[in-house]
Structure 1
Amino acid sequence: MKTYLYFMLKKRTSDFSSIKSKTLIISFVTFLVVSMLTSCDKGMYDVSGEFYHRGEELYLGVVDSVKVVPGYNKAKLSWEIKADPRITKTVIYWNKRKDSTVVNVVRESNGRTPMEIELKNLEEKDYIFELIAKNDNGLFSLPKQTAVSVFGDVYIKNLRNRTIASITRQQNGDLTIVWNPIASSSISYTTLKYEGIEGAQEVKVVNTDTQTILKGLKAGSQIKVSTAFLPAGALDILNALDEVVYTFL
């Protein structure tokens, strides 16, 4: 009888331990699932946490049709303000919001309002501009970003002038310059510079020209060439550095 009671007691203890272990496992799995769901929710809020907390009705209309055109140490931005009468200005940030400028809204109609600004004195590098519509009461829109690479001296130094196939001096003193075909679709034209009998001279050479004749050169004059480039989507023409190709003796 004692043996039987001992066996039953041991069996109940074992069953209790098994149930307890299963309960712990289920609790642990439940904890992991809840943690994962919480983490996912947090990630969603991190994208624009303030948007969820504030509510959509507290935001102004986001700027639209944002475009940016690079230039030499500058960039031109254009965008549209939606027909939200509460919007009074656009704030543009760059350099991780270390730099900014404000453009006030001037409405001429009740519809969308086009806006633009040219930012000058920019360093030659890649930029991410962030545009936010705001008003005078602390309301603002969600940001709109656009990226661009601004040109500078390093870019200019790497431009290559249109190459010359040959330069021939004629008996009458004229120079005949024969050109190689242009090597880049971004070339707009080429300029020849030299000192003539009548003073400084410049001759524009279009891309379809195969040769150029220079007349009335002054002794000792250096013939320089500079090619003008207009990269795709650029704001203005960029000129390669002057290159001496011939000295008239």
Structure 2
Amino acid sequence: MVQFNDWCDCADEPVGNHFRRVLTGQTANRQTGVDATASVIPGHYASEERIARALARLGKPATAELIEGKLPTSKQIRSGDLGEIYATEWIDTQSGGFRALIKRLRWKDHRNMAMRGDDVIGMLEDPATHRLIFIKAEAKSRAKLTNKVLTEARQGLDKDGGLPSAHALAFIAERLLELGNEQLADSIDDAQLIDGIQPKDVRHLLFTFSGNAPEALLTAALKSYSGAIQQWAIGLHVDEHPLFVAAVYDQVIANANNT
């Protein structure tokens, strides 16, 4: 886990009926953030089982080559991937029980290509109704966050009537079947094809990772939303954003060679 609380200050604020949180990287604990992030990245690009099998069969040098071969070399793609990774990790650890069970970067067509479609989908079963509740997330990573970037994120969140896309849900269900989780795969199919997903069953997560302070921008984005879906805006602010991204991926490679 990334353990945001170990290297970030946290400030929460309600914005109307919505929720905003800003995580600010602590200068004194910057390396903690690099190390914590680097520790989870390999598992977002390749399954833990594949990495362990390669290590057992082929040894450390070949496993390090496998991991490094999965990592993007483009600075832009690294930044975008890391934003999506952080959104996934936040859902899994700080969203109140939602889980993003499929790490979709494992299925990239090419390591230096961005993936299309919904960035991250999280799920939680309502204990009272047994209906699935979904988080539909858009993750944006920029050295300088702007209103234009948040407008792009809003467009992504509002696609398909604000609901998770049929393609994204089918992709997740198929991957869950491959992993042997038939019950959850069936629940996704039931939600989509039998019960129908309603706006009340969805939360929107606007997740930003930026080198500038996101508070005012995220607040304005939440205030401008007039739809019926509950909104969460999470901003991770780390100074010298490009250098931090580079340090994280350098640490991943160093860790792989020292495994």
TM range (shorter): under 0.3
TM-score (norm 1): 0.21
TM-score (norm 2): 0.20
Q: Which has the larger radius of gyration?
A: 1
More strand per residue: 1 or 2?
1
User: Which of structures 1 and 2 has the larger relative contact order (alpha carbons within 8 angstroms, sep 6+)?
Assistant: 2
